[in-house]
Amino acid sequence: MDNLFFKYDNEKLSLIFKEEFTLYSISKYQVLIDAINVSNFKAIIIDLSELTFIDTASAIYLINLYDKYSSQNITVTINTTNKNILDTLELVKTKKQKNTLSLYNKQNNIIKYIGQKAHKYYLGFLHFLDFFGELFINLIYLLKSPKTIRYKEILFEMNESAIKAFFIIALSSFLIGVVIAYQSANQLSLYGANIFIVDMIGLSMLRELSPVITAVIIAGRSGSSYTAQIGAMKITQELDAMRTMGFDPYRFLVLPRVIALIIMMPILIFVSDIMAVFGGMIIANLDLGISFDLFLDRFSNVIEIRHFLVGIAKGPFFAILIASIAIYRGLMVKDDTQSIGYNTTKSVVESIFAVIICDAIFSIIFTNLGI
């Protein structure tokens, strides 16, 4: 190799690089250098004094070579007076140290990372509680002053967020009722317990599935809409303009949406109950030969009104959770469009998660109370 020379002096080895050392020379040099048994040497000199040019790739190779020999308790020296070469080597060395430190911090500070994340979520939860408290205060204010209620806006939001969702909720609930009845029919017929399909559909749909299905659909449809709308208004500075003109965004934007969803959620659950039971009734008739009259007779005798009321009672609580989380996420949008997508996704996920937790709490409470 014309541009790489080796010089041996007792226990000292000199690697002499000449002219140019670039990416295309590394593989050839590496073969020659790796063939040397460096265990016989106590000192190695990387001589770059006759080198005229070096690129970053070859600089990385030389720094790695320096570190490799140093780790073997060999004294390594780099000789050069060329400022450009020295600057390139220093740049590569500094960058490598930063990357190594960053990797070390990530690998050895897991507890710190977990603590920072937990603290961040804790602060976010406190901020949400602050928002929720202000929302509750404004609701109390409306109850004390009914004249300030914006009925037109509430009716508009009832139509947009709930009435237009009737079809998708009805269809989804019907299909869920069909699926549950169809899957249950085969198992019940094996034991001659066909009539108990009425009990299964009635209890599962009225108490649990209809409220949860409705809440999930509303969280994905209306909740995401709330977040996107308010987020867009924040980006376009409409919220700031409202405050400048003396309008409270809570009373003009937040409360109408919350109140509309509180009013409509029980109605949507009721529609879901009807369609789910109807779907189960059809499958019970087709697969098990249970007539509509027999199904309804059994349903009225076995399914108590309290099961229906339990499901309906969950509606306002689910509505408050979905609306408050969706609007809060809308207010958290920053001044870029990417933030709208991020917060809309967070809104849907957090709303569904909150609904499931709330439903689990209700189940535990109602079970312990014997309801």
- Under 8 Å between Cβ of 330 and 347: yes
Q: Residues 342-346: contacts with CB within 8 Å, 24+ apart?
A: 343/227, 343/231, 344/224, 344/227, 344/228, 344/231
pLDDT at 274: 92
Distances (CA, A) of 296 to 211, 282, 311: 21, 12, 19
**b/e for 12-24, b at 16 or more Cβ within 10 A?**
ebbbbbbeebeee
Per-residue tokens: 62: 């030389």
pLDDT at 2: 60
pLDDT at 99: 61
Residue the block writes with tokens 């961040």: 120
Sequence-ordered list of residues with C-beta below 8 angstroms from that of 69, at least 6 positions apart, any chain: 38, 44, 76
Distances (CA, A) of 176 to 102, 230, 305, 311: 50, 33, 22, 16
Using alpha carbons only, what angle is made at residue 302 by residues 301 and 304, rounded to the nearest 5 degrees?
Answer: 95
- Under 8 Å between Cβ of 226 and 216: no
pLDDT at 108: 54
- Edge-to-edge strands, sheet with 43-54: 4-9, 12-21, 43-54, 75-79
**b/e for 355-370, b at 16 or more Cβ within 10 A?**
beebbeebeeebeeee
pLDDT at 213: 92
pLDDT at 171: 93
Tens digits of residue pLDDT in 210-250: 999 999 999 998 889 889 888 888 888 888 788 888 777 77
pLDDT at 317: 92
Tens digits of residue pLDDT in 301-315: 888 888 899 989 999
pLDDT tens track, the chain, 371 positions: 466 667 777 778 777 777 777 777 777 777 777 777 777 777 887 877 777 788 877 778 788 877 787 777 778 888 777 778 787 878 777 776 666 545 555 555 677 778 878 888 888 888 888 888 888 887 888 778 777 778 888 898 889 888 888 999 999 999 999 998 888 887 777 777 778 888 888 888 898 889 999 999 999 988 898 898 888 888 888 887 888 887 777 778 888 888 899 999 999 999 999 999 999 899 888 888 888 888 888 888 888 888 899 989 999 999 999 999 998 888 888 877 788 888 889 899 999 999 999 999 988 888 888 87
Residue of 30, 33, 50 whose CA lies nearest to 41: 33
Q: Is residue 34 classed exposed, middle or buried when 0-12, 13-18 and 19+ CB atoms within 10 A define those classes? A: exposed
Using alpha carbons only, what angle is made at residue 272 by residues 254 and 149, rounded to the nearest 5 degrees?
Answer: 25
Whether pTM > 0.75 for this model: the answer is: no
Partners of 12 in the β-ladder: 9, 43
pLDDT at 125: 83
Which domains can be identified in the chain, with CATH numbers?
Answer: 4-108 (3.30.750.24), 149-369 (no CATH)
Residue the block writes with tokens 């989380």: 325
Using alpha carbons only, what angle is made at residue 361 by residues 356 and 366, rounded to the nearest 5 degrees?
Answer: 125
- Under 8 Å between Cβ of 214 and 272: yes
